């Protein structure tokens, strides 16, 4: 059995072989490296090869993941353009107010702006966003929860450390590796509390607080995700960077679209899906025209 643990600093990573188990490899995280960029899933992968603590994917796996990432790129553009088109033209029925100027959206935006202000201040003052421990714990909890969901066992868990974190599990797939970047972990208890409150209490008059907290926690997720992605996160080594980045973008833009649909009942799901279909046809028509133009030049 082999166990791999990831580190983002190749030169500082040492490898040792266990005397009790010839097939087990352990990788020691670099000391005194103040970064969370090595936060990762670790797993038992018996056929994996290693180089300085990093799993080495075969060329076939790299090519396959790259092709999937390239195939998903058009959908990222289609979803984004559809979202902008359908909501830029949306008007609230009573008074013709744009969606962006509704009371609900403004409260969500204020919560998001409050977090962005703190995020930028912490980068300026400390050189890194705070609180790192809260982010790392949520990050590793997402790995652990979804590893358990897929039937894995959590053998080790390190999550309350400003320098980074990891889990060791016997289950690994691309969803487990990327899930902390897909969902706003700290928005879940906010939405759960609101759902319970609606069922048992009269909390509608506090919806501004709910929307503000939702905007605050959602932007917490987005800002840390954007900050972490270019830092050599080892979570991306398994699925591949192109596939990882495109998949993360698709899931996040889909969640944003769903949230905006809930804030603007005047924009129905069917309207949004129809816009996506129209944008898809337009995109591929443009691709065909560009291809014909290139052929004509030849």
Mean pLDDT confidence for 14-19: 35
Give a yes or no: residue 86 inside a domain: yes
Nearest alpha-carbon partner for 54 in 4, 126, 116, 98: 4
Q: Is the pLDDT of residue 124 over 90?
A: yes
Instruction: Let me know how long the chain is.
Output: 298
Q: Is the pLDDT of residue 2 over 50?
A: no
Q: Is the pLDDT of residue 151 over 50?
A: yes
Give a yes or no: residue 42 inside a domain: yes
Q: Is 227 helix (H, G, I), strand (E, B) or coil?
A: helix
Mean pLDDT of the chain: 76
**96 φψ region: left (φ > 0), alpha (ψ -120 to 50), beta (else):** left
What pLDDT, on the 0 to 100 scale, is given for residue 11?
30
Give a yes or no: residue 83 inside a domain: yes
Give a yes or no: residue 27 inside a domain: no
Say how far apart CA 33 and CA 28 lie, in whole Å.
12
Tokens of 154: 């959590």
Give a yes or no: residue 21 inside a domain: no
Give the tens place of pLDDT for each residue, 211-248. Answer: 899 999 999 999 999 998 887 777 888 888 899 999 99
Q: Is the pLDDT of residue 96 over 70?
A: no
Mean pLDDT confidence for 204-217: 87
What pLDDT, on the 0 to 100 scale, is given for residue 23?
33
Mean pLDDT confidence for 62-78: 90
Nearest alpha-carbon partner for 65 in 239, 248, 250: 239
Lowest average pLDDT, out of 52-61, 141-150, 287-296, goes to 52-61
Say how far apart CA 97 and CA 23 lie, in whole Å.
65
Structural domain boundaries, residue 70:
35-297
Say how far apart CA 195 and CA 205 lie, in whole Å.
14
pLDDT band at 55 (very low <50, low <70, confident <90, very high): low
C-beta separation of 253 from 76 below 8 A = yes
Say how far apart CA 88 and CA 193 lie, in whole Å.
31
* Total number of domains in the chain: 1
Say how far apart CA 109 and CA 266 lie, in whole Å.
19
Say how far apart CA 279 and CA 163 lie, in whole Å.
44
What's the N-to-C CA distance of the chain in angstroms?
A: 56
Strands 54-56 and 154-158: unpaired
Give the tens place of pLDDT for each residue, 156-198. Answer: 888 777 777 888 888 888 898 899 999 899 998 888 888 888 8
Q: Is the pLDDT of residue 117 over 90?
A: yes
What pLDDT, on the 0 to 100 scale, is given for residue 24?
33
Say how far apart CA 186 and CA 184 lie, in whole Å.
6
- Is 97 exposed, middle or buried, given 0-12, 13-18 or 19+ CB atoms closer than 10 A? middle
Give a yes or no: residue 122 inside a domain: yes
Report which listed range, 28-32, 114-118, 137-141, is most confident. 114-118
Give a yes or no: residue 288 inside a domain: yes
Q: Tokens 């889909």 label which residue? A: 254
Q: Is the pLDDT of residue 120 over 90?
A: yes
Give a yes or no: residue 20 inside a domain: no
């Amino acid at each position: 059995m082999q166990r791999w643990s990831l580190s983002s600093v190749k030169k500082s990573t040492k490898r040792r072989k266990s005397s009790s188990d010839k097939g087990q490899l352990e990788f020691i995280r670099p000391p005194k490296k103040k970064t969370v960029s090595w936060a990762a899933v670790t797993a038992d992968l018996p056929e994996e090869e290693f180089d300085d603590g990093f799993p080495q994917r075969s060329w076939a796996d790299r090519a396959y993941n790259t092709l999937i990432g390239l195939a998903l790129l058009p959908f990222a553009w289609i979803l984004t353009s559809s979202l902008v088109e359908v909501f830029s033209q949306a008007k609230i029925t009573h008074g013709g107010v744009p969606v962006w100027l509704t009371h609900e959206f403004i409260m969500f935006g204020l919560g998001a702006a409050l977090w962005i202000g703190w995020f930028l201040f912490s980068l300026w003052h400390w050189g890194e966003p705070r609180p790192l421990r809260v982010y790392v714990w949520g990050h590793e909890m997402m790995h652990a929860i979804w590893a358990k969901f897929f039937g894995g066992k959590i053998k080790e868990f390190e999550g309350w450390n400003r320098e980074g974190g990891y889990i060791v599990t016997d289950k690994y797939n691309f969803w487990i590796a990327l899930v902390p970047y897909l969902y706003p972990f700290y928005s879940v208890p906010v939405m759960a509390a609101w759902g319970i409150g609606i069922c048992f209490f009269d909390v509608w008059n506090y919806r501004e607080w709910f929307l503000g907290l939702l905007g605050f926690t959602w932007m917490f997720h987005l800002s840390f995700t954007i900050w972490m992605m270019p830092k050599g996160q080892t979570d991306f080594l398994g699925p591949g960077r192109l596939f990882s980045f495109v998949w993360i973008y698709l899931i996040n833009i889909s969640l944003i679209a769903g949230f905006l649909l809930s804030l603007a009942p005047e924009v129905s799901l069917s309207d949004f899906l129809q816009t996506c279909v129209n944008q898809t046809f337009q995109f591929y028509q443009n691709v065909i025209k560009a291809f014909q133009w290139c052929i004509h030049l030849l």
